[in-house]
Amino acid sequence: MPSADAQTNPLANWTGPYGGVPPFDQVTPAGLGPALEAAMAAELAAVDAIAENAEPATFDNTIAALERAGTALERVGTIYSVFTSNLADDAVQAVEREMSPKLAAHGDRIIQNGPLFARVKAVYDSRESAGLTAEQQRLTWLTYTSFVRQGAALDATSKRTLAEINGTLATLTTDFAQHVLADENDRFVLVDDQSRLAGLPESLVAAAAAEATRRGKTGWALANTRSVVEPVLTVADNRQLREEVWRMFVSRGAEDGPTNTLGIIREVVALRAERAHLLGYATHAHWQLEHAMARTPERAMALMEEVWTPAVATVASEVAAMQAVADAEGAALKIEPWDYRYYAEKVRLRDYDLDEAEIVPYLQLEKLREGMFHVAATLFDLHFSPLDSGPVEQGGVPVFHPDVRVWGVHRGSGEHVGLWYFDPFARPGKRSGAWMSGYRAQASCDEGSTAIVSNNCNFTKPPAGEAVTISWTDAETLFHEFGHALHGLSSKVTYSSLSGTRVPRDYVEFPSQVLEHWLSTPEILETYALHVETGEPIPKDLVAKIERASAFNVGFGTVEFLASALVDMKLHLAEPPADIAVFERETLAAIGMPQAVGVMRHRLPHFLHLFTGDAYSAAYYSYLWADVLTADAWEAFTEAEGPWDAEVAGRLVGQVFSAGNTVDAAEAYRGFRGRDPDTKALMRKRGFAAAGE
């Protein structure tokens, strides 16, 4: 194993301005493995020194020392994750397959270090009498309970079994991610007759032509990514094309062949159940939710079931309205899943005089980014300045791809807060969807560090010189992920383990979801929604239409999401099924999945949230739980002076965005709202009838 430490490991030694930046310009796939090995060796040496310290265990020489011990691995791991998520060519995937089980084994070596755990426990047992600050007590509690939850208190035999399970899971989840990525990269719908593209906006047609050229094909290639598929399903007049695109998208990971993931899922679920039993929990879901806001699967299920019934009833009325439109047009069809978005758009046009195609030209990616910056400056006192990319030696900030841009972030006082990287476009080797990543967590301890975060999307890159326009759904996603970024950038804590977005899973989506609300405010739309050709601001009557239609089609969106969340939870509460496809089909039938919706938003064979790691497994409900907070929090603004109310925004930033995990999530929310959240706010937001109303 390499003996290099953080000082001689180039990927761990972040130099340059802003407290150091990731050296993306020094990365090669061949160097990732050795850098990880060196960083793991450095952490193990530091951990051994802590464990073997002859002095009595204290917060400083044990808990705080552990915070510092993993710095090199966090830095190298950040770069490794960027490459596996954004540039996963064959060479990077080979490194990932090799290193995933090694990283899992490394984590187990630390957790299962008996002398280390004894010192952690000693600090934990004396935390209330040792004169620690509230934040130090919180970090001590988190460190100790994390060790216990990961098996530190098990006997030697059980620890060996647990390490074997974790190593196998690391390999399986890597395989799952790579299978889905291959399916998304390799499959597409090729159109050789432009008339089949009737209804699609010119920008999407041009992008499809460019995609075909990139693939060495003649015609138009519709890529297997949500940012292409959803617009096609919404506006393509050719029903056969809609069905073909829909089937391609929903069958990712499910087709026979080398990219099929069903066997992987079966093994993952069984191993998670075995691990939970080994750790003393009834199911993986009970282990997962122990420190979540929901606390138990039963509470999470109760919320989902409360919302499911009115959502299904709303879908029935939505389908009836769509079927009436289809019948009136003489379409001679029954609404199927590939028709839902298309005919929903017709109903929206009829009932609200609102056409998605009318909105898209006003939703320029770059203008919306400026709108997000306006929200950040006005509500958060966070101001963004573009930086030059390039080598540190030349005064730049290195990036991992030419499409990536970087902004410096500062407060109005001039205080530097962090960096924001933006990677908007799809490319081969980049996983689908949109996400936020934390490259470096804010922390004021020791020498201190400022936050470095990124937002990554998969918009279709247009021909050179053309502006990018996106759908309303994609615009909401853009604001959502920026909310995560602001959560990281706003952090004001002492220790990195408690920083920014390092909060319970069903709480972390609250800051991101609440930020979506500012997209639809007149101040943002009238200033930043500018027509791509004329530059004219979006008409006020169109803004009014958007507001009136804000709850339109909410039944579909809720059912599509909730089906995924319910199947996730039921899968991790049940005995591991022998046939995953049968389990998915039978569970959807049992809960009464509407036929016209057809499939979950994320089917199990490509459910990246669930099977590329533990984070969202038995926890996809988190988006709904967080939306209870979001709906109630937004009413705090509407009850005051509106979306830009400075006093309410100040509480939101101070109690939620900047607090990280220094306090319990429920306590943090009460600090903002003055009370626990009102679940009826969610029902009002979605237009559902709440009990007692």
Residue 449 CB neighbours (<10 A): 20
Q: Is 318 among the catalytic positions? A: no
Contact 543, 522 (CB under 8 A): yes
Q: Which of 481, 516, 560, 584 is catalytic?
A: 481
Beta bridge partners of 435: 456
Burial letters 374-412, b for 16+ CB under 10 A, else e: bbbeebbbbbbeebebeebeeebbbbbeeebbbbbbbee
DSSP-derived secondary structure letter, 519: G
In whole angstroms, what is the distance from residue 166 CA to residue 182 CA? Answer: 24
Task: Classify 637 as helix, strand or coil.
Answer: helix
Residue whose entry in the numeric block shows the structure tokens 């320029």: 364
At 268, list the tokens. 């993952």
Q: What is the C-alpha separation between 510 and 381, in angstroms, rounded?
A: 20
Q: Is the dihedral of CA 668, 669, 675, 677 positive or negative?
A: negative
- Relative to beta strand 405-410, strand 188-191 is unpaired
Q: How many residues does the chain have?
A: 693
Do residues 411 and 385 make contact, with C-beta atoms less than 8 angstroms apart?
no
Distance between CA 387 and CA 405 in Å, rounded? 8
* Contacts of residue 620, Cβ cutoff 8 Å, sequence gap at least 6: 564, 565, 568, 569, 602, 609, 610
351-to-108, 235, 318, 546 alpha-carbon distances in Å: 58, 17, 12, 12
Query: Which two tokens mark 216?
Result: 């060495």
The dihedral of CA 372, 378, 380, 383: what is its sign? positive
Of 486, 489, 490, 483, nearest to 509 (Cα)? Answer: 483
Q: Which sequence positions are flagged as catalytic?
A: 481
